[in-house]
């Protein structure tokens, strides 16, 4: 961020208590936080139980883009009996997600037990009265989609799903993290990432998928890959394919950048 960047705290809080076992964003969810005009940096998300947790379960975090929900994290909750000298369950996820303007974070709980979920966020804006010409302005560009159709091809043919497009009106898009979260049981396979230059598609990355039988106490398979500072040319896209016909939510965290006139 440039020296002219100004930050405002955006603290999201919600209490969950209604059981919801779904990974697709249906069922009861609690609104946690809404991103501001340039985007919001979500530094941490803390889950704190308000009671004894009687059985293993999950608290799930979703991104909402205005039309659909995409699971981005499952936080495993162990059975834990609180007492005068025993704390209730607590966990802090150091997520560092940059959420696109006006997009929202939601949360749900597997079991009907009470949890406070607290998001530590920072909105950013730019001081415009006196801006240096070399200053860089970033705007969050969060890519989301669902992946389900089997495609074993390595040459960019077959069914691909768009994960993110670098803004055509920017100087490029800096891709930082990629999360691929299974919505169901998985078998051994592969997720493939392609770069699309609008003329051809080029295989860029392959990620192994492990066999996992998800449940209320077993998180579904997830890929979290750090692509810090991979700059994608304006107008280019990231496309995705899955080897097996299994359901995945894609979340690509990135920032477009521009310079003041």
- Domain ranges in the chain are 5-126, 137-258
What confidence tier does 205 reach under pLDDT thresholds 50, 70, 90?
very high
| pTM for the structure as a whole | 0.90
Instruction: Tell me the mean pLDDT in the region 223-250.
Output: 91
pLDDT at 125: 87
The second-level CATH assignment, the architecture, of 5-126 is: Sandwich (2.60)
pLDDT at 229 over 80: no
Structure tokens at 84: 């005068």
What confidence tier does 131 reach under pLDDT thresholds 50, 70, 90?
low
pLDDT at 52 over 70: yes
Question: Which residue shows structure tokens 């889950």?
Answer: 47
Using CA atoms, how far residue 98 sits from 175, 181, 182, in Å, is 11, 18, 21
Is-contact 20 113, C-beta < 8 A? no
Residue among 126, 51, 49 nearest 83 (CA): 51
Please check whether the two domains, 5-126 and 137-258, share a CATH topology: yes
pLDDT at 193 over 80: yes
Is-contact 72 45, C-beta < 8 A? no
Per-residue pLDDT tens digits for 211-226: 999 999 999 999 998 7
For the chain, give the number of residues.
261
Q: How many of the other CB atoms lie within 10 Å of CB of 103?
A: 19
Q: Which residues contact 215 (CB under 8 A, 6 or more apart)?
A: none
Is the CATH code 3.90.1750.10 the one for domain 137-258?
no
Instruction: Tell me the mean pLDDT in the region 169-198.
Output: 94
pLDDT at 132 over 70: no
pLDDT at 109 over 80: yes
Classify strands 161-165 and 137-147 as parallel, antiparallel or unpaired.
unpaired
Terminal CA-CA length for the chain: 17
pLDDT at 259: 82
Mean pLDDT of the residues in the chain: 92
Per-residue pLDDT tens digits for 39-50: 999 999 999 999
Question: Which residue shows structure tokens 């974070």?
Answer: 105
CA 33 – CA 17 distance, rounded (Å): 18
């Amino acid at each position: 961020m440039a020296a002219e960047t100004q930050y405002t705290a955006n603290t999201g809080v919600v209490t969950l208590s209604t059981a919801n076992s779904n990974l697709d964003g249906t069922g009861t969810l609690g609104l946690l936080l809404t991103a501001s005009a340039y985007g919001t940096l979500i530094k941490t998300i803390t889950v704190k139980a308000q009671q004894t947790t009687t059985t293993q379960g999950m608290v799930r975090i979703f991104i909402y883009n205005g039309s659909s929900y995409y699971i981005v994290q499952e936080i495993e909750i162990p059975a834990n009996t609180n007492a005068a000298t025993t704390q209730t369950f607590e966990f802090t996820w150091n997520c560092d997600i940059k959420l696109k303007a006006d997009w929202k974070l939601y949360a749900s709980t597997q079991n009907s037990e009470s949890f406070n979920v607290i998001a530590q966020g920072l909105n950013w804006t730019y001081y415009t009265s006196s801006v240096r010409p070399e200053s860089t302005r970033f705007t969050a560009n969060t890519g989301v989609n669902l992946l389900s159709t089997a495609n074993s091809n390595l040459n960019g043919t077959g069914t691909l799903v768009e994960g993110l497009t670098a803004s055509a009106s920017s100087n490029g898009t800096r891709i930082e993290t990629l999360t691929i979260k299974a919505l169901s049981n998985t078998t051994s396979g592969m997720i493939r990432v392609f770069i699309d230059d609008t003329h051809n598609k080029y295989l860029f990355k392959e990620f192994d998928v492990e066999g996992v039988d998800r449940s209320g106490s077993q998180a579904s398979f997830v890929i979290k890959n750090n692509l810090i500072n991979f700059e994608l040319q304006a107008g280019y896209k990231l496309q995705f394919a899955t080897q097996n016909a299994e359901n995945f939510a894609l979340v690509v965290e990135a920032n477009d950048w521009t310079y003041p006139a």
